[in-house]
Chain A
């Protein structure tokens, strides 16, 4: 394997891992607070759609990104309302929202652009950090990426810092581990959980926009194609810890990149095996084969005062 190939592989692994990383980081916060958003998939898809349409009509990908974020707000609000206020089954509502969003975005896309449109949509600019981008061989292939990737990394780092070192982070953790104690301390479990779901929505919107206007510069029907479920798998595999979740995302990204890399290297591994690998690993993780799992104690359980 030549140096160029390693560089391309590393670059595409990071690029493919990024949407997972964004949405998984968002989902991790929400699951820590006790709400499982099966709807990450739908939120990502809505973000991708909003971002693409916004960028197409305003001609500005940055406005598109904002529109993508705004478009996810109703989806996140619906999920938060159903799981916190109506105390509905979080899994069922998540699946319902995913079907709803897939149907709605597909319908709207067809109505707006017709069925087999391949309209090129203005995408976000690329950027490389100084010095890193100039490294011979690697610089261009690895670090020359959409600026959203770097911005996203910063957001993930801030979120990790808030979760670990601030009172807010402590409250979020407690809402999923000891909701009753949070309630007694005078904070509102419901409000914390609403906030956490909205944060998942925000991060999923970034992830969706990364797909549509960051990576391929177009929108296709159902383009997230299970990415939201992969993000859930990454949180599970990451054992609800941010470091391990990031590693899981990178690993999943690398597995996806290998689908394109291996045939180029003349190695014949069934494509399907590489695609299912993340799900298989997550299954092994929840099956207790990769150390003990420690999900937040009150995950998926609605809080009743």
Chain B
């Protein structure tokens, strides 16, 4: 009887959360539309440019979905760490580290000589490990010195972004050999075999194998969080670390593992971006995907299906925004305004959610 009541209560809460998220998104889009209108661009032009760029062609759809993949992986990592009440804002750095590792492994790590599908799998694993290590450092600092993971992961994001810059500026690291002064500061293109194969085999719709991989990972994380002892332990650590420790849950390994895993998902996102889309490492490689991924995680309010929905929303928003700038001359920065409004509205709305729960 009690379980049923709790289930109903949880369901009601989930529904409120979904409605609030939807309301925030709609409100933000409305703000965006008002901005577009105030710039003197006909709304129909803007909307058709947006639609064209977001889902107007098979290529556009694939590009949007590929963007959503990276955002979604970071978002799933955020939700995972957040279950233990840890806030991983280091997605940007974890993507960057993943990109560096995947590039290094593809170009110089001998991955291209491996048999079978290994040439593109090994760099992905390297990227996940690198991102995981980057997240793990924050875990070590948290567990050993009590450093707030928000501050450490944020600082490490900036360090990592400049590490990418360093790697592509220095020939002794990942910069392509300089033939003349016009040689761009970026890495060589990775070998064909290390690129993630396309699902369709056709570049007019460049969906790649990252899509099923990411979906499988998302399902695994959802199951781990909701149906396993490990997920329950994370929740206990997050809700009340003192009680969790009394109950015999090892706090330090839980923190380390969960921040490692969140980082690994970010690193994998970096591998997807590099091996599935950009194919060579450039400065500003991560280009805000980590911070957007954080927002995706936030928007999802702790649920993995929520991550998928908001990752798709942001992936399509980004694609559509880019085309709005190209085709209708509207700054794609409007998409940032929309995202900012979503975050601020949701963060503010959390107040009413809490108040409702505590029954005040």
Which residues of A, 79-115, contact B by the 8 Å Cβ criterion?
A: 82, 86-89, 91-93, 95-104, 106-107, 110-111, 115
Q: Is residue A229 contacting chain B, with contact meaning CB distance below 8 A?
A: yes
Chain A contacts for B166, CB-based, 8 A: 270-273
Q: How far is the CA of A99 from the CA of B294 in the complex (A)?
A: 12
- Which residues of the other chain, A, contact B348 by a CB distance below 8 angstroms? 82, 86, 88, 93
The one of A96, A107, A271, A287 in contact with B347, judged by C-beta atoms closer than 8 angstroms, is: A96
How many whole Å from B220's CB to the nearest CB in chain A? 26
**In the bound complex, CA of A92 to CA of B335 (Å):** 18
- Interface range, A side: 35 or more
Residue on B nearest A92 in the bound complex, by CB: B347
When each residue 131-173 of chain B gets 1 if its CB lies under 8 Å from chain A and 0 otherwise, what string results? 0000000000100110110111011101100110110011000
Shortest A210–chain B CB gap in Å is: 22
Task: From the candidates B144, B169, B344, B350, name the one contacting A78 in the complex (CB within 8 A).
Answer: B344
Stretch in A155-163, A171-179, A278-286 with 4+ CB within 8 Å of B: A278-286
Tell yes or no: A275 within 8 A of B by CB: yes
Q: Which of B147, B162, B334, B351 contacts A272 (CB 8 A)?
A: B162
CA distance A110 to B342 in the complex (A): 22
Q: A236 in the interface, Cβ–Cβ < 8 Å?
A: yes
**Which residues 224-240 in A have Cβ within 8 Å of B in the complex?**
226, 229, 232-233, 236
State the CA gap A286–B138 with chains docked (Å): 11
Residue of A nearest to B150 (CB): A91
**Interface hits, B316-357 → A, CB 8 Å:** 331, 333-344, 347-348, 350-351, 354
Which A residues are CB-close (under 8 A) to B344?
Answer: 78, 82, 93, 96-97, 100
Central interface residue in A92, A106, A271, by most chain B CB within 10 Å: A92
Q: Are A95 and B89 in contact (CB under 8 A)?
A: yes
Report how far A282 CA is from B141 CA in the complex, Å: 13
Query: A78 to chain B: which residues have CB within 8 Å?
Result: 344
A107-B331 contact in complex given A82-B348, A286-B147, C-beta closer than 8 Å: yes
CB–CB B347/A82 < 8 A: yes
> Is B155's CB under 8 angstroms from A233's CB?
yes
CA A226 to CA B160, docked complex, whole Å: 14
Contact A99 B145 (CB under 8 A): no
User: B39–A283 contact, CB under 8 A?
Assistant: no
Specify which of B35, B155, B331 is in contact with A283 (CB 8 Å cutoff). B155
Residues 144-156 of A, flagged 1 when their CB comes within 8 A of B and 0 if not, give 0000000000000
Asked whether, in the complex, the Cβ of A276 is within 8 Å of the Cβ of B158, the reply is yes
Is A88 touching B350 in the complex (CB atoms < 8 A)? yes
Establish whether residues A95 and B155, one from each chain, have CB atoms under 8 Å apart when the complex forms.
no
Question: Who on chain B is nearest to A105 by CB?
Answer: B333
CB-CB < 8 A to B50: which residues of A? none
For B321, the closest partner residue in chain A by CB is A103
Contact (Cβ within 8 A) A100 B337: yes
A290 CB, nearest partner CB in chain B, Å? 11
The answer to whether the Cβ of B87 comes within 8 Å of any Cβ in the partner chain is yes
Interface of B (DSSP majority class): helix
Q: A288 an interface residue at 8 Å Cβ cutoff? A: yes
> Chain B's nearest CB lies how many Å from the CB of A166?
30
Of all chain B residues, the one with the shortest Cβ separation from A78 is B344
A103: which of B163, B340, B350 is its contact (CB, 8 Å)?
B340
| Cβ-based interface call for B298 (8 A) | yes
User: How far is it, in angstroms, between the C-alpha of A100 and the C-alpha of B28 when the chains are bound?
Assistant: 11
Contact A236 B340, CB 8 Å, known A95-B291, A276-B163: no
- The docked-state distance in angstroms from the alpha carbon of A282 to that of B156 is 10
Contact: A236 with B151, CB < 8 Å?
yes
Q: Which among B89, B333, B342, B350 is the interface contact of A107 at CB below 8 angstroms? A: B333
Q: Within 8 Å CB of B89, what residues of A?
A: 91, 95
Contacts of A279 in B (CB 8 A): 155-156, 158-159, 162
Q: How far is the CA of A106 from the CA of B336 in the complex (A)?
A: 9
Chain A contacts for B162, CB-based, 8 A: 272-273, 275-276, 279
B341–A107 touching, CB < 8 Å: no
Least CB distance from B153 to A in Å reads 10
* A82 and B291 alpha carbons, distance in the complex (Å): 20
> Is the CB–CB distance between A282 and B155 below 8 Å?
yes
Closest Cβ of chain A to B93, distance in Å, is 10
One digit per residue, 1 when the CB lies within 8 angstroms of any chain B CB and 0 when it does not, for chain A 218-253 equals 000100001001001100100000000000000000
Q: Give the Cβ gap from A85 to chain B, nearest Cβ, in Å.
A: 8
- The residues of A that contact B152 with a CB separation of less than 8 Å are 283, 286-287
Pick from B154, B165, B333: contact of A110, CB below 8 A.
B333
In the complex, what residues of A have CB within 8 A of residue B351's CB? Answer: 86-88
Residue of B whose beta carbon sits closest to that of A39: B344
Q: Provide the A22-60 mask, 1 if CB < 8 A to any CB of B, else 0.
A: 000000000000000000000000000000000000000
Contact call B156/A99, Cβ cutoff below 8 A? no
Judge whether B340 and A283 touch: CB under 8 Å.
no
- Give the shortest distance, in Å, between B90 (CB) and chain A (any CB): 11
Q: Which residue of B lies closest to A284 (CB)?
A: B155
Interchain CB contact under 8 A, A276 and B333: no
Is the pair A287, B340 in contact by a Cβ cutoff of 8 Å? no
- A interface list, Cβ under 8 A from B: 78, 82, 86-89, 91-93, 95-104, 106-107, 110-111, 115, 221, 226, 229, 232-233, 236, 270-273, 275-276, 279-280, 282-283, 286-288, 293
Add 11 more A-B contacts to A91-B89, A97-B340 (CB < 8 A). A88-B348, A95-B294, A96-B340, A99-B291, A100-B336, A100-B340, A107-B331, A110-B333, A229-B158, A270-B170, A275-B165
Instruction: Point out residues on B near A: beta carbons under 8 Å.
Output: 35, 39, 87, 89, 141, 144-145, 147-148, 150-152, 154-156, 158-159, 162-163, 165-166, 169-170, 291, 294-295, 298, 331, 333-344, 347-348, 350-351, 354
* Subset of 24 A-B contacts with CB under 8 Å: A82-B348, A89-B87, A91-B87, A91-B89, A93-B343, A96-B339, A96-B347, A99-B336, A100-B336, A100-B340, A100-B341, A101-B340, A102-B336, A103-B335, A104-B333, A106-B331, A106-B333, A111-B39, A221-B333, A271-B166, A272-B163, A272-B165, A279-B159, A288-B145
Top 10 A-B pairs ranked by shortest CB distance? A100-B340, A103-B336, A96-B343, A272-B166, A106-B333, A103-B337, A288-B145, A276-B162, A99-B340, A88-B347
